[in-house]
Amino acid sequence: MQIPRKLDKYIIGALVVLTVLFIAGIVFFFIRTDSLQNDIADLRNYSKELTNTLASTTASLNEQLAYTHTSLSNAISEERNNVGTLQNQLGGFQNQFGNLSGTVTTLQKLSQTDPELLKKYSKVYFLNENYVPSRLSEIPLTYQYSDRKQLLLQSDVLPRLEDMVNAASSTGVKLYVFSAYRSFDEQKALKGIYTVNYGAGTANSFSADQGYSEHQLGTAVDMITPGLGGQLDGFDNTNAYTWMLANAYKYGFVISYPKNNGYYVFEPWHWRFVGVKLATDLHNQGKNFYDMDQRDIDKYLANIFD
Ligand SMILES: [Zn+2]
């Protein structure tokens, strides 16, 4: 078959063009692939960079978070400590306030309490002859041994005395008041009678001066019980005396001059009100009022009528 020459030329031309285009395509394809590979590498690098940045940012954030957490914890515990300190201070203030109000109460009580009520009297320390108790009340006749005279007692002590006598009575023990408050003049007159009757030496031994001061205070009583012929002597052999030794402290009374004491003659009938607290402490420690230091005794003054 004959191909026309002119057509032949065209075909060759077209083939050349196609070949050129084909080659150009391949070149372009390789160039393009190369560029894409570069792009991918770039992207990978970028991604790596991003990952690194993310990691370092996360680490930094974690660090900051940990730091913040620690700081907050520290701040919180510091605040807690502050609150604790404040609470302690508040507690301290409250205690101080409590102590203060306690002190004020004690001072108030002390200012209203006759300091003589708990004084120790001796051959050298007497109650002033002009001393008269601030308040005296009449002892009801049922508590008196004899209804021939009016007996007076310090008004705050009277109810304690009545309680004591009633308590004894409820156990079958009969107690009566033989003598209570005596003024300086009464005592002087009484001592005069004793001195006339027994001579100064004997009178001093049983109606002497310590006991006299206590009667002038209005807080001391001489107790008696039936069966002694109206005499104080022999009181120590009665169940009334035994009962008082065991129970009088519960009502605030102590025996001023007990057996074998070193400062005065034994007076089993003579009891003095010193307050329940002091009487109880003396009873529990087996001590006598006159054996105690005046400074230690004074601590009980504010609460003598509690
Ligand atoms: Zn007496």
CA 232 / ligand 1 centre spacing (Å)? 10
Query: pLDDT tens digit string along 201-249?
Result: 554 544 455 567 899 999 999 999 999 999 999 999 999 999 999 999 9
Q: How many domains does the chain have?
A: 2
pLDDT of residue 159: 98
CA 231 / ligand 1 centre spacing (Å)? 13
Q: Name which of 129, 105, 98 is nearest 116 in CA terms.
A: 129
Supply 194's token pair: 């004793």
Q: Which amino acid is at 142?
A: T
157 and 133 belong to one structural domain: yes
Q: Name which of 168, 181, 157 is nearest 239 in CA terms.
A: 168
pLDDT of residue 173: 98
pLDDT of residue 89: 87
Supply 200's token pair: 């100064």
| Residue ranges making up the domain that contains 24 | 1-112
Q: Which of 112, 134, 169 is the last residue of a domain?
A: 112
Residue 133's CB is within 10 A of a number of other CB atoms, namely 21
Q: Which of 75, 92, 112 is the last residue of a domain?
A: 112
83 and 162 belong to one structural domain: no
CA 210 / ligand 1 centre spacing (Å)? 9
Between the alpha carbon of residue 225 and those of residues 165, 254, 266, the distances in Å are 11, 18, 18
130 and 87 belong to one structural domain: no
128 and 223 belong to one structural domain: yes
36 and 153 belong to one structural domain: no
99 and 137 belong to one structural domain: no
100 and 132 belong to one structural domain: no
CA 7 / ligand 1 centre spacing (Å)? 169
121 and 46 belong to one structural domain: no
Asked whether the beta carbons of 175 and 244 are under 8 A apart, the reply is yes
Q: Report the CATH number that the domain containing residue 186 is assigned in CATH.
A: 3.30.1380.10
CA 142 / ligand 1 centre spacing (Å)? 20
117 and 213 belong to one structural domain: yes
Q: Which of 112, 144, 165 is the last residue of a domain?
A: 112
Rounded (10°) CA dihedral 78, 84, 85, 86 = 110
Whose tokens are 């004894």? That residue is: 168
239 and 199 belong to one structural domain: yes
Is residue 261 helix, strand or coil? coil
CA 175 / ligand 1 centre spacing (Å)? 15
pLDDT of residue 28: 79
CA 213 / ligand 1 centre spacing (Å)? 9
pTM for this predicted structure = 0.66
Which ranges of the chain have pLDDT less than 70? 1-4, 191-211
Asked whether the beta carbons of 177 and 145 are under 8 A apart, the reply is yes
139 and 82 belong to one structural domain: no
136 and 68 belong to one structural domain: no
Q: Name which of 270, 151, 184, 268 is nearest 220 in CA terms.
A: 270
